[in-house]
Each structure stands twice: as C-alpha cells, then as structure tokens.
Amino acid sequence: MKNQLLVTALLVAATTAIQVSQVLQKQRAESQAQWRQEATNKFSWNATQELKWSVVNSFIDVQTSPDGDVYAIQSIKGDMSEQKYFVYKYDIVTNIWTILDKTFQAKAVRFDRLGNMYYLTPKNCVLNSNKEEIICGLFDFEVTVNKEIIGLSDGTLNQDTLGSPYHQVYSTSSMYYYKALGGQKGITLLKDEPILIDSNGYVDTRFGTGKFISISAGIDGSLWALLDEDQPSGTDYSLVKWQTVAQKWYKVEGATGINLSAYNEISVALVNKAGLLSLSSQANQQKPVSYTG
C-alpha cells in the first residue's frame, strides 16, 4: 500500500513538473519573441551631407523599391518659371544620385510588390512603367500586384470608399482597376492591404490611437510612420516603428523628417524639412526604446 502511495505521489509530482516546465518554456519563447522584436531597433544614420552629390537642389519625396533601390524627387522652381519635378536614383556603390530622364517630370514614384514602377505626374495622373497614362485625379496612390490602384482623390474624381467596387480603366497596353478614396491624406500597402491616414491624422485602431503625418510599410511587412505631436507645421516629425508583439509604436531616437519610405525592418529612408535625405543601416548596439503610448 505504501509503495502504491509512493508511486502515485511520484506520478503527481512528475506531472506537475512537466506542466511547470511547459509554462516556463512558453514564457521563455514569448520573451525571446519579444526580444527579437525589440532588438530590431538598431540604427545608424548617414545624412546626405556626408554623401557625394551630383545635384544641388533639395528633395521633397523618397521611395524605395522592392529590390532596395532608392528614388527621390527633386523640386525646382525659378522666379519666373513653373515648378518642375525630376526623378533621381541613388547608387549605393558610388554614393551618387543620377537623374532618370531630364525630359520627364514626376512628383512621386511608387512600386508594386513585383517591382513594377509607377509615376505620379505634376497634373496628378498615374502612369505605368512605360509612361502610359492610366488615370488622373489622384494626389497619392499605391498599386497591388493585381494592378489595383488605390488612390487618394484630389477632388476631380467621384470619391470611393474602401468597400466600393473597383473601376476598370485602360492604358495603351493593359487594363487596370482603381478606387479614388476621399477624406484621406496618407496611404501605404501592408502586403497589399491598404492602411490609411485620415484627414485628422489617425489610422486604423489596430495600430493604436496616435496621430501621424506619413506612413510606410516595408516589403517584409514592417510598418513605419512619422508621428504628429501637434508641433508647428513645417517642422520635422519623429520616426516611429510599429512593434507587433507589444502592439505599440516606438520612437527611433534621433531620426526625424517630413517624408519617409520603408524597405524592411532595418532600412528606411527619410527626407527632412531642409530637403536632405538620410538612409538607415543596422548598427552594432541597440538604442533605448521610447514608447509613444
């Protein structure tokens, strides 16, 4: 009888130990996952003053391609001439910006996840990589891999909602689909899912309650934004990154700008109020994380 009681006690103890071990393993795995998330906040910054320049005018917009190439828009306006916009591409090896086409103007470039390039002209017309006109009346836009253009209406098109059906439209060589959303001031695609900044600066409640100036998703699903802290218009805004595990935004210390484009977890490009462009790269030490709420 005593032996049976002893065996039973040992079995209960062993079962309890296994359960405790499983709980500890789960907690350890969760902690490791959170650490991996936190550890992505590793940045060093190279300001454009430290690069070799082939242009003298400042940039107003930046865009990274799925291949990691960096494009920027130069704005030129003379005393007696209309404003002009030119597209430049950055060569990482030579540290030189090169104009794509001196005879062509675009005030923004965008890419789908397959790497197809699209342009936004000064007259708010979207062109494909062959520079064929697709649709006019959008002041910003993104494109899915299915040739769906989700744009922000400049008021000249009938305004849609996210739930509206797509409109068919044709370029010279292909068919596309578009929506012209109203009441929004910013857009990015997170793996082809639109994330919008409304006219008051707010995004979907899944991503907190902060206010934002601009937002950008990386090719790997990382999400970055510029935080609106009610500072005066025309100032630089703090760069923040969405932390998936903690479900919070954290500030990247020392990084500010007025426009951004994310490539992945550790690579993002910023344009500041002076028109200077900075590119991030992974550093050896982690900087302190500052949460915004």
Distance CA 215, CA 30 (A): 28
Give the single-character DSSP code of 95: T
pLDDT band at 38 (very low <50, low <70, confident <90, very high): very low
User: Which residues are CB-contacts of 222 (< 8 A; sequence separation ≥ 6)?
Assistant: 40, 241, 242, 262, 264, 265
In the predicted structure, residue 178 carries a pLDDT above the cut 90: yes
Q: What is the pLDDT of residue 113?
A: 96
Lowest mean per-residue pLDDT among 55-69, 122-136, 188-202, 258-272: 55-69
Distance CA 287, CA 43 (A): 8
Q: What is the pLDDT of residue 283?
A: 43
Q: Could you tell me how many residues make up the chain?
A: 293
Q: What percent of the chain has pLDDT over 90?
A: 60
Q: What is the pLDDT of residue 1?
A: 54
Whole-prediction pTM value? Answer: 0.78
pLDDT band at 97 (very low <50, low <70, confident <90, very high): confident
Which of 188, 170, 196, 184 shows the shortest CA–CA distance to 108?
A: 188
Numbers of helices and strands, H then E, in the chain = 1, 23
In the chain the domains, ranked by start, together with CATH numbers, are 42-291 (2.120.10.30)
Q: What is the pLDDT of residue 266?
A: 86
Q: What is the pLDDT of residue 125?
A: 98
Region 116-122 average pLDDT = 98
Region 38-58 average pLDDT = 48
pLDDT digits (tens, 9 = 90+) for 207-239: 988 999 999 999 999 999 999 998 888 799 999
Q: What is the pLDDT of residue 101?
A: 94
Lowest mean per-residue pLDDT among 151-155, 171-175, 200-204, 281-285: 281-285
